[in-house]
Amino acid sequence: MTKKTTIDFEALLEKVNADFPTYQVLDKDGNVVNPDLMPELSDDELVELMTQMVWSRVLHQRSTALNRQGRLGFYAPTAGQEASQLASHFAFEKEDVLLPGYRDVPQLVQHGLPLAEAFLWSRGHVAGNLYPEDLKALPPQIIIGAQYVQAAGVALGLKKRNKKNVVFTYTGDGGSSQGDFYEAINIAGAYKANAVFYIQNNGFAISTPRDKQSSAMTLAQKAVAAGIPGIQVDGMDPLAVYAVSKLARDWSVAGNGPVLIETLTYRYGPHTLSGDDPTRYRSKEMDSEWEAKDPLIRFRNFLTAKGLWSEEKEEAVIEQAKEDIKNAIAEADRVPKQKVSEFLKNMFEVQPQLIKEQIEIYEAKESK
């Protein structure tokens, strides 16, 4: 009898979980630990990136306050994720197409959405979805993972038109479990389409922790099954996030297909301001551990040591951001309240009979 072949499943698993290193440029104190990955950014660009991150922190603080005053609608906190969001966005061009999720309003505004429109979107006002002609973006997706499938389609369109641009899209650790996620990276990979896919791994999908999300050691390794490169990066390190994003964009624009980037990050606040209480599923220790890795602290230290940043400079950025936010909310307040009839008219290009009847009913009510 021939000897039966046995399979070493442990060894197979080790291969599956092959090392996906976490790319880093700055440690948590702002020291350069990997000069080889240091991106080529001018002093002005470095300052601009910090300015955007500080602006985003202020936007978070003001959005939280406005929400509590009943002056804003839906809000998904962003504090903690500034490097993951703004340093990634910083690597793309205006003609690249952004497909955001509900937490990605800061990137959308930096991509060209007027802040007043972002506030109107938060209030569920239809005017918040009427984008400027030249803004290459879709409104934030609420259906977890759906933006990935849409991104695969846009990416294929860019490829077929021989565009030297990419689509970039964001989901979360939770989103990376959705069917849409796998379908999108698979088809984009098969057609070598122009896309950079982000998983912002903030450790939780509402209250579900990362270790209940998947047995995969990293979420970046999910790229392997799609035959595309996957990279894990320290999502609290703006220079590392920017560096891998820029390289990924270059690679994809050159016709090599998509890249998947997992950013390791954390949201300081609740999931949304609609009733989530993170103290029920996260410890104070965990919060402080991540707060010590804060992207603003480390970038501030780095820039200050280079003589590019100061307390006064930061104060000026904060004041300007507050002023811009105040003006944008006032602008949003001046837009007339949405009527039900308008909302109904916006649903279909050719209205079905039922909708026509409802519009008549509401117009009659609204004219009283």
Ligand X SMILES: Cc1ncc(C[n+]2csc(CCOP(=O)(O)OP(=O)(O)O)c2C)c(N)n1
Picked from ligand X, Mg ion, none, the partner binding residue 122 (CB below 5 to 8 A depending on kind) is none
CA distance 102 to 307: 36
By beta carbon distance, the residue nearest ligand X is 172
Alpha helices in 9-75 (DSSP H): 9-16, 43-68
Q: Is 202 in the site for ligand X (CB under 6 A)?
A: yes
314-351 burial code (b ≥16 CB/10 A, e <16): beebeeebeebbeebbeebeeeeebeebbebbeeeeee
Instruction: Verify binding: residue 261, ligand X, rule CB under 6 A.
Output: no
- Compute the least distance from the CB of residue 99 to Mg ion, in Å: 17
Which of these, 144, 114, 59, lies nearest to 322 by C-alpha position? 59
CA distance 22 to 290: 16
Pairing verdict, β 97-99 and 167-172 = parallel
Could you tell me the smallest distance in angstroms from the CB atom of residue 228 to Mg ion? 22
Residue 137 makes contact with ligand X by CB under 6 A: no
Select the residue whose beta carbon is closest to Mg ion and give its number.
172
The site that binds Mg ion (CB under 5 A) totals a number of residues, namely 4
Q: Identify the active-site residue in 131, 182, 268, 281.
A: 281
The answer to whether 60 is a known catalytic residue is no
Count of residues near ligand X by CB under 6 A: 15
Phi/psi for 234 (5° steps) reads -65, 105
Helix (H, G, I), strand (E, B) or coil at 83: helix
From 172, 189, 258, 270, residue interacting with ligand X (rule: CB under 6 A) = 172
Of residues 82 and 173, the one with the C-beta less far from Mg ion? 173
For helices 115-122 and 311-334, the axis angle rounded to 10 degrees is 60
Provide the mask over 115-154, with x wherever binding to Mg ion is found by CB under 5 A and - wherever it is not.
Answer: ----------------------------------------
Q: Is 144 in the site for ligand X (CB under 6 A)?
A: yes
Closest to 230 measured CA to CA, from 238, 218, 241, 239: 218
Minimum CB–partner distance for residue 50 and ligand X (Å):
23
Nearest distance from residue 299's CB to ligand X, in Å?
A: 22
Q: Which does 225 bind (CB under 5 to 8 A by kind): ligand X, Mg ion, none?
A: none
Coil, strand, or helix at residue 335?
coil
Stretch binding ligand X (CB under 6 A), from 117-125, 204-212, 243-251, 355-363: 204-212
DSSP string for residues in 51-69: HHHHHHHHHHHHHHHHHHT
Q: Which two tokens stand for residue 128?
A: 């918040």
Q: Does 262 bind Mg ion (CB under 5 A)?
A: no
- Write down the least CB distance from residue 283 to Mg ion, Å: 17
Q: What is the rounded distance in angstroms from the CA atom of residue 23 to the CA atom of residue 302?
A: 17
Q: Which of 30, 39, 145, 172 binds Mg ion (CB under 5 A)?
A: 172
Task: Determine which one of 57, 267, 298, 300 is catalytic.
Answer: 267
The least distance separating ligand X from the CB of residue 223, rounded to whole angstroms, comes to 17
Rounded to whole angstroms, the Cα distance separating 64 from 85 reads 18
Out of 96, 173, 234, 294, point to the residue binding Mg ion (CB under 5 A).
Answer: 173
Q: Which does 82 bind (CB under 5 to 8 A by kind): ligand X, Mg ion, none?
A: none
Alpha-carbon span 294 to 29, nearest angstrom: 9
| Site residues, Mg ion (CB under 5 A) | 172-173, 202, 205
| Site residues, ligand X (CB under 6 A) | 103, 142-144, 171-175, 200, 202, 204-206, 271
